[in-house]
Amino acid sequence: MQALRLPVDVLMQRIPLVNRWVTESWRPAAVEAGTDANGPAVELVRDDDAGALWRLRGFAIELHPTEGEGYFLNLTSPAPCVFVMWRMIEEEIPPVRPIVVTVSYNEAGRMLDGGERVDNVPMPTMIADWMRPFVAAHYKPEPRRKVRRNDPFAATDVSGGARRR
- pLDDT at position 149, please? 73
Q: Is residue 144 part of a domain?
A: no
**pLDDT tens-digit readout, 52-96:** 999 999 899 999 999 999 999 999 999 999 999 999 998 888 999
Q: Is residue 153 part of a domain?
A: no
Q: Is residue 162 part of a domain?
A: no
Q: Is residue 148 part of a domain?
A: no
Give the pLDDT mean for 114-134: 95
| Containing structural domain, residue 72 | 4-138
Q: Is residue 155 part of a domain?
A: no
pTM above 0.75, yes or no: yes
Q: Is residue 30 part of a domain?
A: yes
Q: How many domains does the chain divide into? A: 1
- pLDDT at position 64, please? 94
Q: Is residue 105 part of a domain?
A: yes
One DSSP character per residue, 99-134 reads: EEEE--HHHHHHHHHTT--EEEEEPPHHHHHHHHHH
Tell me which residue of 128, 117, 140, 14 sits closest to 68, measured CA to CA. Answer: 140
Q: Is residue 27 part of a domain?
A: yes
**pLDDT tens-digit readout, 7-21:** 999 999 999 998 899
